[in-house]
Amino acid sequence: MTGVHPAWLPRDVDDSIVLTRDPDCGLGEEGYTIARAGGVTTVVAAGEPGLMYGAFHALRLREDCPAATHRPAKARRVMQHWDNVFVHPVMGQVERGYSGGSVFWEDGALTADLDRVSDYARLLAATGINLVSVNNVNVHAGEARLLTDRLGEVAALAGRFRQYHIRVLLSVSFASPVTLGGLGTADPCDPAVREWWAAAARRVYAVIPDFGGFVVKADSEGQPGPFAYGRTHADGANALAAALAPFGGDVYWRAFVYNHRQDWRDRSTDRARAAFDHFSPLDGQFADNVILQVKHGPIDFQPREPVSPVLLGMAATRLAVEFQATQEYTGQQRHVCYLPPMWSAVLSAVADRVDAVVTVSNVGEDPYWTGHPLAQANLYAAGRLAWDPALDPIALLDEWIRLTFPDAAAGVLHALMDSSWAVYESYTAPLGVGFMVKPGHHYGPDVDGYEYSPWGTYHFADRDGVGVDRTVATGTGFCGQYPPPWSARYESLETCPDELLLFFHHVPYSHVLHSGTTVIQHIYDIHFAGAAAVTEMRRRWDALPPALVGEGLHARVGELLAEQERSAVEWRDQINTYFFRKSGVPDALGRRIH
Ligand code: GCV
């Protein structure tokens, strides 16, 4: 290590790593070259961020390698928190958080443990993340004040993140001019409202000069938005963007806008259509510093969804894809579910179209950071994929395992995790149907839990068949929101992939899949197989000597696998029994269905 000892320098960097600054190397602020020979790693970069990323890379390397150049594919690599400042009566300290309390907030106050925030910043920087939002997109009254009289607390967090070249974002309420500013309106076209936002931005940049910008959930699930004033989402986003533009800040405007008070009897309204219906007419109308943040699938982070047509269709708008590391619908960090193969499949379709990769964090005050120790792999790979969306998700898993566990444990960890998303999918909702979870908290099976609810998430199972007809020919027309070749592929039963069949089509139980089996037999088979796979995962983990991975961690994962096995059996039995009772078709293999 030559000459520099900044705060970001990883603790374990020693003389075997040579960091050299070359302002003329032409790699931008974050790029670097790295080579390792004879046990010494050399990093060359123009600026501190590049040296930092190179130093973390050096720590990942084991083998000698020729000089290689690395630059992030995306300038915006974002981790977003759904952390509340005040404990919410229903959602708690962290909305959909499964890792204990918030790393930032505790019972209405800024955390007293800012050193842990620094540790978290280092952890994120090591994965490549460079932007972090510190509060929930559902901005409650107390949290809204982070923009005004509680700004100093955001500045304190920003100070810790800055040491690792991470900039802070703040979720703000669209109604702030009214609720905080005392104005009579939050109409984005009203000059006083625009001036209120401009003044708010000036105050923010006075204390946080490298502030990243605002995250906004508007007209969604009860959050205020421009519709109340007869304005479009472009009007709304552009008003905030104008306030941030002089300082180089961005607005991350969420496309998660749908009717959550739908009448289940109304078969013409399709929640999957909502984002595209709302936003595609606005393509080209957003300011340059607005980034439309789109959940990767059209509904809501289900175990299997097609890619959102918004990400494939809005060529004149800057886009971000949003993933969910917090496992709301994928086992809530009680189940092993390594999600990057899902994310990577999405990125292979949209990476060239997005300006930012956003992930909803799975981190809390838990000593293992993520509740389930193995859920750390999702956090790690989220950052690495944001840096380079072309990375192989299974190679990333092995990278994380190698950096975290001794070699002797690697085989078991790989076997447990590499297909864990497919395993989770197999014992939960079949063939892309989704939302068969218990309402509210979303853990465990309840096949009809959302079937007669206002949330727009139905499967339409009856005695003859199951699935949602989203075709143009006979259904909601959602397939038509896709450009070719997707539209035709999903529209046709011949070409629709099995794993998304029930997302796009309502079919009889006797429908034969491309795999050659009927829908009903597939449901039985896949649920028996999924639960059996979890039993095997548990057996493998229990056979691993605890000392190899640490007694405490071994015990924690062991307890969680026991819960995963219990839950998988519950899913298997409820889903199989439900469909057996609906269809009356027995299992061809005569297994026990209740
Ligand atoms: C933060 C789903 C979740 C909500 C979440 C929302 C969103 O509806 O259940 O908890 O709110 O998505 O992404 O805004």
Distances (CA, A) of 481 to 85, 274, 280, 312: 39, 11, 10, 9
Instruction: Give the C-alpha separation, 456 to 459, whole Å.
Output: 10
Q: Quick check: CB of 95 below 6 Å from ligand 1?
A: yes
Give the nearest ligand 1 atom to 254 CA. 14
Catalytic residue chosen out of the listed positions 64, 107, 113, 221: 221
Instruction: Give the C-alpha separation, 279 to 157, whole Å.
Output: 33
Q: How many A from CA of 450 to the centre of ligand 1?
A: 15
Q: How many A from CA of 19 to the centre of ligand 1?
A: 43
Nearest CA to ligand 1 atom 14: 137
Instruction: Classify strands 105-106 and 109-110 as parallel, antiparallel or unpaired.
Output: antiparallel
Residue 587 annotated in active site: no
Phi, psi of 17 (to 5 degrees): -125, 120
Q: Quick check: CB of 208 below 6 Å from ligand 1?
A: no
Q: How many A from CA of 529 to the centre of ligand 1?
A: 31
DSSP class of residue 347 equals H
Catalytic residue chosen out of the listed positions 322, 328, 491, 525: 328
Q: Give the residue from 527, 504, 82, 530 showing the smallest Cα distance to 299.
A: 504
Instruction: Give the C-alpha separation, 60 to 491, whole Å.
Output: 45
pTM for the whole structure: 0.98
Give the nearest ligand 1 atom to 138 CA. 1
Cβ-based burial of 235 (10 A; exposed 0-12, middle 13-18, buried ≥19) = middle
Tokens 């910043």 map to which residue?
121
Q: Quick check: CB of 83 below 6 Å from ligand 1?
A: no
Q: Give the residue from 166, 99, 168 showing the smallest Cα distance to 133.
A: 168
- Predicted pLDDT of residue 392: 98
Tokens 């890619």 map to which residue?
307
450-455-461-467 Cα dihedral, nearest 10 degrees: -130
Residue 22 annotated in active site: no
Instruction: Give the C-alpha separation, 460 to 438, whole Å.
Output: 17
Instruction: Give the C-alpha separation, 270 to 203, whole Å.
Output: 42
123-129-131-134 Cα dihedral, nearest 10 degrees: -40
Q: Give the residue from 150, 123, 122, 125 showing the smallest Cα distance to 135.
A: 150
Q: How many A from CA of 125 to the centre of ligand 1?
A: 26
Domains of the chain: 17-70 (3.30.379.10), 76-404 (3.20.20.80), 425-468+506-583 (3.90.1330.10)
Mean pLDDT, consecutive 10-residue stretches, the chain (594 aa), reads: 65 85 96 96 96 95 93 98 97 97 98 98 97 98 98 98 98 98 98 98 98 98 98 98 98 97 94 98 98 98 98 98 98 98 98 98 98 98 98 98 97 98 95 96 98 96 98 98 98 98 98 98 98 98 98 98 98 98 98 96
Nearest CA to ligand 1 atom 11: 138
Instruction: Give the C-alpha separation, 64 to 422, whole Å.
Output: 35
DSSP class of residue 437 equals B
Q: Quick check: CB of 217 below 6 Å from ligand 1?
A: yes
Q: How many A from CA of 108 to the centre of ligand 1?
A: 21
Choose one of 94, 96, 258 to mutate for the ligand 1 pocket test, by most ligand atoms within 8 angstroms of C-beta. Answer: 96
Give the nearest ligand 1 atom to 217 CA. 14
Q: How many A from CA of 277 to the centre of ligand 1?
A: 20
| Joined tokens for residue 276 | 């595209």
Count CB atoms within 10 A of the CB of residue 71: 16
Q: Give the residue from 69, 87, 79, 77 showing the smallest Cα distance to 28.
A: 69
- Predicted pLDDT of residue 310: 98
Choose one of 221, 261, 435 to mutate for the ligand 1 pocket test, by most ligand atoms within 8 angstroms of C-beta. Answer: 221
Q: Quick check: CB of 82 below 6 Å from ligand 1?
A: yes
Nearest CA to ligand 1 atom 3: 96
Max Cα-Cα span within the chain: 75
Instruction: Give the C-alpha separation, 91 to 452, whole Å.
Output: 23
Instruction: Give the C-alpha separation, 264 to 452, whole Å.
Output: 6
320 - beta bridge partners?
A: 293, 356
Q: How many A from CA of 343 to the centre of ligand 1?
A: 18
Looking at residue 497, its amino acid is: P
Q: What is the Cβ-side half-sphere exposure of residue 578, based on CA atoms within 13 angstroms?
A: 23
Distances (CA, A) of 123 to 29, 102, 161, 336, 453: 20, 16, 11, 21, 40
Q: Give the residue from 3, 2, 19 showing the smallest Cα distance to 57.
A: 19
Catalytic residue chosen out of the listed positions 300, 305, 322, 366: 300
Count Cβ neighbours within 10 Å for each residue of 264-303 and write b for 16 or more, e otherwise: beeeeebbbbbbbbbbeebeebbbebbbbbbbbbbbbbbb
Residue 263 annotated in active site: no
| Joined tokens for residue 472 | 């143009």
